[in-house]
Amino acid sequence: MNHITQQCKQILIDESIDANSTIDFDVNGEVHTMTFEYIIDTYMQASDESRLVFIAALQKAVDAKEMGVDKFFESMGQLLLLTHLSNNIEI
């Protein structure tokens, strides 16, 4: 596990947030479920720059309180899902 992954997961621990918390996405009646940990692990496969942006955004979500960590992970999960779905579209 890389250093940034550990930092992301530590932020969740510090905020008493379970990394196994899930978010459900309904896409045309098919439910896709992602855990916070899965979302972190998937983003950590990106470039170093992208990982740094992810952890900075996560920290801002924690600090901002209004947006909240749940909303942050919901948004990040939607991006992952949209990317996955767009890569599987046949034209």
Total structural domains in the chain? 1
Phi, psi at residue 44, to the nearest 5°?
Answer: -75, -5
What are the pLDDT digits (tens) for 1-59? 689 999 999 999 998 999 999 999 988 888 999 999 999 999 999 999 999 999 999 99
Range(s) of the domain holding residue 69: 3-87
**What mean pLDDT do residues 69-91 have?**
82
Non-local CB neighbours of 19 within 8 Å, separated by 6+ positions = 9, 12, 13, 35, 36, 37, 40
Higher per-residue confidence, 67 vs 51: 51
Q: How confident is the model at residue 66 (pLDDT cuts 50, 70, 90)?
A: low
Whether the CB-CB separation of 25 and 77 falls below 8 Å is answered with: yes
Count Cβ atoms below 10 Å from residue 51 Cβ, excluding itself. Answer: 20
What pLDDT does 41 receive?
94
The pTM assigned to this predicted structure is: 0.86
